[in-house]
Amino acid sequence: MKILGLETSCDETAAAVVIDGSKVLANALASSLPLHALTGGIIPEVAAREQAKTIIPVIKEVLRSSKALGAEATKNGAQVEQLNPNIDAIAVVFGPGLIGSLLVGVETAKALAYVWNKPIVPVNHLIGHLYATWLNNSSPPKFPLIALLVSGGHTELLLVSDHGKYKHLGGTKDDAAGEAFDKISRLIGLGYPGGPAIERSSVSGDSQKFNLPRPLSNSPGYDFSFSGLKTAAVNLVGKLTLSGRSLTTQEVADLSASYQEATIDVLVTKTVKAARSFQAKNVVLGGGVAANKHLRERMSASFNGTVFYSEPAFSVDNGAMIASAACFNYKPIPWRKIKADPAILF
Ligand code: KG4
Ligand code: ZN
C-alpha cells in the first residue's frame, strides 16, 4: 500500500510517500525554524502562514520524486502532469498540535482526498512518532513495547501491546521535557531550539558540577514533572549571576551538562521501570528529544533489551512516520468527518 503522509502539527510542513509502512520513497519538509529562532520560540500564527505557503510545493515535491506523478498526459499538444497521483491513500495528522497549523494539513488533505477520490486516514501525531522506528527498518520493534514519546509539547509513556493497542501509562504534569530544554537554553543564552543547543554545549561540560533535582523520579506511577527542575535551574543561574556578571562559557557548558543529565535520569528511570513491570521486549524512543545521543546511550545501557530510535531525519516531525502509522492502523474515514483536534492525547 502506497500512502502520502502529511504532518503540519507544529512548525514543520512535511510530506512523504511510503510503501507498506516502511519503505520511504520520498520525504520532504519545509521548516519555519529560522523565523522562530528570531523570536526565541514558535509564534503559532507565523508557523501556520508559512505552512499555508509551503504545503502544496512540498506535496508536489514528494509526489514527483516518488514518481507518483510519473505518467504524463498530453493535453492539446502540451505535456501536463498526471492529475491523479498513483497513491492508495492520504494520511494526515489531526492532533495534538497548534490549531492553525493542524488546519492547514487537515483541510489540504480533505480537499485532495475529495478531488482525487482517495481514502483518508487521520493520524495522532504522537502515535506517528512511535512509527518512525518502522521506517526503512527490516527488523522493527516487537510487542509488547514501551514507548517514550518526548517532544516540545509532550512527555508520554505508552504500553503498546500490538498495532492499535495503546495504554497511556503517564505523562508530564506540567512542562514537556523539550519545552523545558528550550526555556533553559534561552535563559543561558544558547537560543532556540534548546535541546540540540544544550546537547552540543554539554559536550565540554561537567554533568556532576551542579546538583539539580530529579522530580518524581522515585514516585509511584509513570508521570513526569519538569517545572521544578526548570525552576531549580533558573534559581541557580540567578545565584551565579547575582553580582550582575554574565555566565562564563564553562559555566554554560556545566549547566547544560548538569541539566541534561537530570532530565535524562528521570526519563530513563521511569521508562526502564515501566519496561520491567510490563515485561516489554523493546523500548521505543520517539519525538524531537529522542534525537539526543546521550538519552539514547543511557537508555540502551539501562534497559535489558533493544532500544529503538529512528534515523535522524525521522526523529523530527515528518510525513513518513504519519504514512507508516496509517498503514499499520488502516482506518479510513469519510473526509467530511475529519476534524483537527489540537488537545487530543490518545
Ligand atoms: O517532536 P518535535 O520535533 O516537535 C514537537 O512535536 O514538539 O520536538 C521538538 C523538541 C524541541 O523542544 C527541541 O528542543 C527538542 O525536541 N530537541 C531535542 C534535541 N533535538 C530536538 N532535545 C534534546 N536533545 C536534542 N538533540
Ligand atoms: Zn513531534
Per-residue HEC secondary structure of the chain comes to CEEEEEECCCCEEEEEEEECCCEEEEEEEEECHHHHHHHCCCCHHHHHHHHHHHHHHHHHHHHHHCCCCCCEEEECCEEEECCCCCCCEEEEEEECCCHHHHHHHHHHHHHHHHHHCCCEEEEEHHHHHHHHHHCCCCCCCCCCEEEEEECCCCEEEEEEEECCEEEEEEEECCCCHHHHHHHHHHHCCCCCCHHHHHHHHHCCCCCCCCCCCCCCCCCCCCCECCHHHHHHHHHHHHHHCCCCCCCCHHHHHHHHHHHHHHHHHHHHHHHHHHHHHCCCCEEEEECHHHHCHHHHHHHHHHCCCEEEECCHHHHCCCHHHHHHHHHHCCCCCCHHHCCCCCCCCC
Q: Is 287 in the pocket of ligand 1 (CB under 6 A)?
A: yes
Mean pLDDT, the chain, integer: 94
Query: What's the pLDDT tens digit per position in 239-279?
Result: 999 999 999 999 999 999 999 999 999 999 999 999 999 99
The 3-class secondary structure across 55-77, one letter per residue, is HHHHHHHHHHHCCCCCCEEEECC
pLDDT given for residue 186 in this prediction:
94
Compute CA 311 distance to the chain's CA centroid, rounded to the nearest angstrom: 12
- Please identify which residue in the block is written with the cell numbers 520491567: 276
Cα distance between residue 256 and residue 194, in whole Å: 10
Amino acid letter, 1? M
Choose one of 124, 179, 201, 289 to mutate for the ligand 1 pocket test, by most ligand atoms within 8 angstroms of C-beta: 289
At residue 75, does pLDDT exceed 70? no
Q: Is 319 in the pocket of ligand 1 (CB under 6 A)?
A: no
Query: What's the pLDDT tens digit per position in 165-194?
Result: 999 999 999 999 999 999 999 999 999 889
Choose one of 8, 29, 149, 151 to mutate for the ligand 1 pocket test, by most ligand atoms within 8 angstroms of C-beta: 151
Query: What's the pLDDT tens digit per position in 84-136?
Result: 899 999 999 999 999 999 999 999 999 999 999 999 999 999 999 999 999 99
pLDDT given for residue 290 in this prediction:
94
Mean pLDDT within 319-326? 98
Cα distance between residue 260 and residue 342, in whole Å: 29
| Neighbouring C-beta atoms of residue 322, cutoff 10 Å | 36
Of 255, 256, 321, 251, the residue nearest 292 (C-alpha): 256
CA–centroid distance, 250 to ligand 2, in Å, is: 31
CB 271 within 8 A of CB 296: no
Amino acid letter, 201? S
pLDDT given for residue 327 in this prediction:
98
Ligand having the closest approach to the CA of 289: 1
